[in-house]
Amino acid sequence: MSNKITKITKTEAEWRAQLTPMQYHVAREKGTERAFSGEYWDSKDPGTYRCIGCGEPLFKSTEKFDSGCGWPSFTAPLDAQGITEIIDRSHAMIRTEVVCSNCGIHLGHVFPDGPAPTGLRYCINSASIDLEKQSEQS
């Protein structure tokens, strides 16, 4: 997988100042918000989901689907270059972690049980993304 150096590096103190405690826990400590607790798991608003760490557009509402898992789920990233996938062997499981390619924050995991055509489910924490609603764009 990609070993490229992330473009944005911040100290943990800078991250703590920028993010809410929940965002920091998810984004920097690879935490997971409780299912059905996040801001976007049930959102159907059209728009672009941007990285909470750097503002990079990562996912679009058109790829969002109702997975029933309690987290925002997408069948594909907006741009495959925008995310980096890392093998995660924590919690006695082998999963594929998804991080922002630009700033390196933890976004969630990708699972091979999504709908066609990709067959993928990007299971992303609401705390790691920020929806820019389409109607607010000028």
The only residue of 19, 26, 27, 54 in contact with Zn ion, by rule CB under 5 A: 54
The only residue of 51, 120, 127, 129 in contact with Zn ion, by rule CB under 5 A: 51
Q: Which of 46, 102, 36, 98 is nearest to 72 (CA)?
A: 36
- What are the Cα distances from residue 112, in Å, to 17, 86, 109? 35, 14, 10
Q: Which residues are part of the catalytic machinery?
A: 123
Give the range of 18-26, 34-42, 44-52, 119-127 binding Zn ion by CB under 5 A. Answer: 44-52
The only residue of 78, 103, 123, 124 in contact with Zn ion, by rule CB under 5 A: 103
Q: Is 107 in the site for Zn ion (CB under 5 A)?
A: no
In DSSP terms, which residues pair with 100 in a beta bridge? Answer: 83
As given in the structure block, the two tokens for residue 93 are 């499981």
Q: Residue 137: how many CB atoms within 10 A of its CB?
A: 8
Give the binding site for Zn ion (CB under 5 A): 51, 53-54, 56, 100, 102-103
